[in-house]
Amino acid sequence: MKKTFLGLCVGFVNGIFGSGGGMLAVPMLQGVGVETKKSHATSIALILPLSVISTIFYSQHGNIDWKTALPLIPLGLFGAIIGSLIMKKIKPIWLKRGFGLLLIIAGVRLVF
């Protein structure tokens, strides 16, 4: 039941906020017992298909600025590779702290 709720919540948040569902997925996965590094990697696996579906719907309604998005994709992919390689070397406690700091910074920026 918890995993069904997790999937529904992450999909809903991803649909509204874009890939923001990953920010919700990590703590929820940890809440159902998935270890830190696996929760981060699993959230990415969840977000990929959700983001593809969201992209299709957003695109159909003309809500994507493709001129801005397309040039960012190659560097984003490169950054994802580097990040996944670095994550292997980070201790789980530092991954949690870094993720928590990122959430705080994102939250403060959104509020102000």
pLDDT of the chain along its 112 residues, tens only?
677 888 888 878 777 776 667 788 888 888 888 998 999 888 888 888 888 888 898 899 999 999 999 999 999 999 989 999 998 899 999 998 998 898 899 889 989 9
State the pLDDT at residue 107. 86
Q: Are 47 and 80 in contact (CB under 8 A)?
A: no
Q: Name every residue whose Cβ is closer than 8 Å to that of residue 27 and which is 6 or more positions away in sequence.
A: 39
State the pLDDT at residue 62. 93
State the pLDDT at residue 94. 94
Predicted structure pTM score: 0.75
Q: Are 39 and 46 in contact (CB under 8 A)?
A: no
State the pLDDT at residue 1. 65
Q: Are 95 and 37 in contact (CB under 8 A)?
A: yes
State the pLDDT at residue 22. 76
- Among positive and negative, which fits the CA dihedral 58, 59, 60, 62? positive
- Rounded distance between C-alpha atoms, residue 15 and residue 109, angstroms: 21
State the pLDDT at residue 19. 67
Per-domain residue ranges for the chain? 2-111
- Rounded distance between C-alpha atoms, residue 37 and residue 83, angstroms: 12
